[in-house]
A and B are shown apart, each in its own frame.
Chain A
């Protein structure tokens, strides 16, 4: 699947199927600091992402 990341903006390919929880763990990101977005929808940690999915892993923490 294609995964869009920010700070800095980049794309990585990750082999699916994979649960959201496992995707974040593989990318070494903590759940509390990110949202996973597929299309216009948020996906929960237990959701199974398919190999052909495109997702955005969006950071939610700002420094202000």
Chain B
């Protein structure tokens, strides 16, 4: 297989683009896809301070690496969830990346430890509130990322969600007609109210396999093992189904998700409408002052239930 651009030996084939690339041309392709995402969705500018949510996995470390190499001011935030063994191993990957690549670009790493802040790890908290671990984890991470971005005055918070993540999530939402979630599935969500950070997904144009290839080719040491909590998750099933379609018909994932974004952009010309809706429905949580639709936000409710549960 030859590189489509420079005709030397290719290291990866990309059937969805009817292309193959050598390492330098593949890196250029990846950087270009991120630059296009940032520009077309007006995610951030060269002067903005970006907080990247890093897990130790390939996507978030690749994202941090790409943003730094593109010259952006990007720091990292790692939330230690206290999952036995797995959290320590993933944290080590993040810390090593921060000490090498991060340091070279004057980037810093923030670390939040759920165990220290709430007195229990994610598994124990989920048990106490009787919720599936992944759902409790989602609430905790969203809350922690948003609060850190706001407290430390970052202009925007970036996550490593890729094309496969977004297409799988869209499939799940459509299968269950969860229309209320569709509106929030764009790659750029505004800071609609006080206390809400702007949130962006600069990797939505890149497939999961492409990001793993980027990490391997650029010697980014990431955690290959799967989170022990994710076993049997619906997301894995949706991703598998989409990848089977992708093999038969390359480009299926991008036409599904990007097609959805196109339709959404045409149907709702004003991103203002989401901001207006948020402004009408969100107000500060009476306990922690983060935005919520309820009197007390879901994070504080969860922690209150966890504390009540632990006293029983």
How many chain A residues have a CB neighbour from B under 8 Å?
24
Contact B212 A64 (CB under 8 A): no
For A45, the closest partner residue in chain B by CB is: B13
Complex CA distance for A62 and B90, rounded to whole angstroms: 14
Contact B11 A44 (CB under 8 A): yes
Which among A6, A35, A45 has the greatest number of chain B C-beta atoms within 10 A?
A: A35
Say which residue of B13, B216, B226, B244 sits within 8 Å of A63 (CB atoms).
B226
A residues within 8 A CB of B219?
40
**Which B37-73 residues sit within 8 Å CB-CB of chain A?**
55, 57-59
A residues within 8 A CB of B213?
35, 42, 60
Complex CA distance for A42 and B23, rounded to whole angstroms: 9
A residues with a Cβ closer than 8 A to B are 6-7, 30-35, 37, 40-47, 58-64
Q: Within the complex, what minimum Cβ distance (angstroms) separates A17 from chain B?
A: 17
B residues with a Cβ closer than 8 A to A are 1, 10-13, 20, 55, 57-59, 134, 164-165, 207-209, 211-213, 216-217, 219, 224-227, 230-231, 233, 235-236, 239-240, 243-244, 246-247
Contact B13 A62 (CB under 8 A): no
A residues within 8 A CB of B207?
32
* Chain B interface SS verdict (over half): helix
Complex CA distance for A24 and B209, rounded to whole angstroms: 15
A residues within 8 A CB of B59?
62
B residues within 8 A CB of A63?
134, 226-227, 230-231, 233, 235-236
Q: Within the complex, what minimum Cβ distance (angstroms) separates B88 from chain A?
A: 18
Identify 19 residue pairs between A and B in the complex whose beta-carbon atoms are under 8 Å apart, listed by A's number: A7-B226, A30-B243, A31-B247, A32-B207, A32-B246, A33-B209, A35-B213, A42-B213, A43-B11, A45-B13, A58-B212, A59-B226, A60-B208, A61-B208, A62-B227, A63-B134, A63-B233, A64-B230, A64-B235
Q: Within the complex, what minimum Cβ distance (angstroms) separates B305 from chain A?
A: 24
**Across chains A and B, which 9 residue pairs bring their CB atoms closest together, nearest first?**
A63-B230, A60-B212, A32-B243, A63-B233, A44-B1, A42-B11, A63-B236, A60-B209, A32-B246
Complex CA distance for A41 and B26, rounded to whole angstroms: 13
Q: Within the complex, what minimum Cβ distance (angstroms) separates A36 from chain B?
A: 10
